Structure 1
């Protein structure tokens, strides 16, 4: 079962020291341990930390990249917020 993570919790993890979460297609990925390995450099991951990075991700990657790292980096899914 996948952990549900609120969008606000993702926003709170916007720097490496806090965990550096990003969202890709509703999946939440913890990138703090990956920033130094990222072939495109740490700068872009730090720029999208705490945000939905789907558009930027798909611009430079294909599905095989997501599959390759998903087991290692995915920590959950963004939970739906109640609408009042």
Structure 2
């Protein structure tokens, strides 16, 4: 089980990609598949910040909500 406190410290910088793109000035999410099959999601403008961890099903639901305008990520 992964205990993620900080995306960079725990997960490193390799393997992240931006699965979604939009007209939001480069403020995107980045995703990385973890060895156990789950996915870590982080704010691209805050790569040293926290990451959310989803199962494949949870990430699918999140992505559908994102595309429908029901989900947003905001750097604090």
Same fold (TM over 0.5): no
Q: TM-score, normalised by structure 1?
A: 0.29
Larger RCO, structure (CA 8 Å, separation 6 or more): 1
Higher relative helix content:
1
Q: TM-score, normalised by structure 2?
A: 0.31
